[in-house]
Amino acid sequence: MDARNEMLRLIHARRDGFSLEQPFYVDPDFYRLDLELIWYRDWLFVGHDCEIARPGSYFTLQVGAYPVVVVRGRDGVIRALHNTCRHRGSRVCTAQRGMAAKLVCPYHQWTYDLDGSLVFARQMGDDFRKQDFGMKPVACESVAGYIFICLADEPADFAPFRALMEPYFAPHRLVEAKVAYESTIIEKGNWKLVWENNRECYHCAANHPELCKTYPEAPTVTGVSGAESDPDILAHWEHCEAAGLPSRFGIDKSGQYRATRAPLLRDAVSYTMTGRRAVRRNLSDSVSADRIGALLLYHYPTTWNHVLGDHAVTFRVLPLGPTETAVTTKWLVHKDAVEGVDYTLEELTHVWTMTNDEDRRIVEENAFGIGSPAYEPGPYSAEHEGGVMQFLEWYAASIGPRLAETGKPALRDVA
Ligand code: FES
Ligand code: FE
């Protein structure tokens, strides 16, 4: 049986409330199917508008086999382009980030405008049509300071996500913030293990001494149910909404994304060891940092986020291989906040630098154990791991029908 049929069989045989079978976490063919059917199909968070604030500024990234460049044009519009030259395919932009008046391929200097159109190709003959050889566009949207791309030929409608996410995020003005610090760590585990770990706080008390000073481990905060019946959360929503900040739990019907606001412990205002603010200046001029807790957003498969009154911490997940995942964390502050005056990097980044490393270790041990021939799917805690079950439901409901699409073997051929 080929990998596609085997994956489909295992998706249908999946036991609710249990972790996945081993191949989902280790098998190179299953990984390729994840790329093809999830990563090359869904909208992916790639970075922030404020990272490419000026025309000509760009950053690059790699999604599976696809090199992509995200660049701001002279018209101020952010676009994403396939970062592969239309001459013989060289990568055009090789730096992680940069600033350019034009995008010039390093191989034979074909030169593209910031919108991807080819403006110069040396000695290609009289009948060469430059207009036929522009860099190929990638679908790109930006909302409330977040840039998303989609590699699919026919991307899903972005509007519902924009409609849900924008009211929560717009007041925080991430569109004009600045990235004070960025880190990328490599976790030796499948991308789904990174997510499973993120979607529960069953592990927090024993593993995250720093984060647990301020972040509640209650499953009503991390998970996807019960928030409405948690009196602390209800009171928090009322407080924040009275201050004009949408806060109630909002989730997409497919479960792919959710936004909500959560209180921090003991009226902490920031993720610091004391709970006091890490940045003297508020993240947004129009939002007080007083008891607004954390605005939480996840969007599968690339991002989870915590927006506080004084700063925001955003995360981007990118798969590197069947058992390797890159997690990029960015700490955003008000654009005029000054390092050494309004904040120190040590205090700003300490809690999540430690937490990330703790999570890396957990994910790697999880991956290690799953590699054992003795591994078999185990049961999630209904009380604490509802968020993990919901992630896997989204995954199964997304990849199952895509595996079974027309032109591919139907389920009845597989049983
Ligand atoms: Fe880009 Fe030749 S491959 S100019
Ligand atoms: Fe954790």
Element (H, E) at 31: helix 28-34
Ligand 1 close to Cβ of residue 107 (< 6 A): yes
- Ligand number nearest CA of 135 is 1
Residue 48 lies in a domain: yes
Is there a contact between 9 and 38 (Cβ–Cβ < 8 Å)? no
Which DSSP helix (H) or strand (E) runs through 26?
Answer: helix 23-26
Indicate whether residue 118 lines ligand 1 (CB < 6 A).
Answer: no
Tell me which residue of 409, 387, 406, 4 sits closest to 199, measured CA to CA.
387
Mutational test site, ligand 1, from 82, 85, 102, 111, max ligand atoms within 8 Å of CB: 85
| Per-residue pLDDT at 102 exceeds 70 | yes
Packing angle, helices 3-13 and 386-403, rounded to 10: 140
Residues 136 and 182 in one domain: no
Q: Does 112 have pLDDT greater than 90?
A: yes
Residues 219-266 pLDDT 10s: 888 777 888 888 889 999 999 999 999 999 999 999 999 999 999 998
Nearest C-alpha to atom 2 of ligand 1 is from which residue? 108
Q: What is the pLDDT of residues 304-362, one digit of tens each?
A: 999 999 999 999 999 999 999 999 999 999 999 999 999 999 999 999 999 999 999 99
Question: Using CA atoms, how far apart are residues 164 and 185, in angstroms rounded to an integer?
Answer: 30
Statement: residue 88 has pLDDT above 70: yes
If pLDDT is split at 50, 70 and 90, which confidence band does 40 have?
Answer: very high
- 110 and 228: one domain? no
Same domain flag for 187 and 102: no
Whether residue 197 sits in one domain with residue 54: no
Q: Tell me which residue of 131, 118, 138 sits closest to 69, measured CA to CA.
A: 138
383 lies in some domain: no
- Residue 36, domain member (yes or no): no
- Asked whether residue 395 is assigned to any structural domain, the reply reads no
Q: Residue 413's pLDDT band (boundaries 50, 70, 90)?
A: very low
Tokens of 63: 């999604």
Q: What percent of the chain has pLDDT over 70?
A: 98
Q: How many CB atoms lie within 10 A of CB 265?
A: 15
User: What residue has token string 């009211």?
Assistant: 167
- CB of 108 within 6 A of ligand 1: the answer is yes
Are 290 and 318 members of one domain? Answer: yes
The whole-angstrom separation of Cα 284 and Cα 289 is: 9
Residues 128 and 236 reside in one and the same domain = no
Whether residue 213 sits in one domain with residue 88: no
We report the CATH number of the domain holding residue 145 as 2.102.10.10
Write out the E strands in 49-192: 57-63, 66-72, 78-82, 97-99, 103-104, 111-112, 118-120, 137-143, 146-150, 178-187
Structurally, the chain folds into a number of domains equal to 2
Cα distances (Å, whole numbers) of residue 207 to 135, 210, 270, 368, 412: 46, 9, 19, 18, 45
Nearest-CA neighbor of 58 among 94, 92, 97? 97
Q: Do 270 and 186 share a structural domain?
A: yes
How confident is the model over 52-74, as a mean pLDDT? 98
Rounded to whole angstroms, the Cα distance separating 119 from 281 reads 44
Last residue of a domain, one of 105, 130, 150: 150
Output the pLDDT for position 230.
Answer: 87
Q: What is the pLDDT of residue 407?
A: 53
Question: Of the bound ligands, which one is closest to the alpha carbon of residue 123?
Answer: 1
Q: What is the number of the ligand 1 atom nearest to the C-alpha of 89?
A: 3
Our answer on whether the CB atom of 85 is closer than 6 Å to any ligand 1 atom is: yes
pLDDT, average across residues 10-34: 97
Whole-prediction pTM value?
Answer: 0.96
Question: Which pLDDT value is given to residue 411?
Answer: 46
What residues pack around ion ligand 2 (CB closer than 5 A)? 359
Per the structure block, which two tokens stand in for 273? 């060891």
Q: Which domain holds residue 219?
A: 160-370
Q: Are 38 and 61 in contact (CB under 8 A)?
A: no
What single DSSP character describes residue 176?
G
Residue ID of nearest Cα to ligand 1 atom 4? 108
Q: Which ligand is nearest to the CA of 359?
A: 2
Ligand 2 center from residue 397 Cα (angstroms): 25
C-alpha–C-alpha distance, residues 233 and 249, integer Å: 10
The two tokens of residue 177 are 């913030």
Mean pLDDT of 4-32: 97
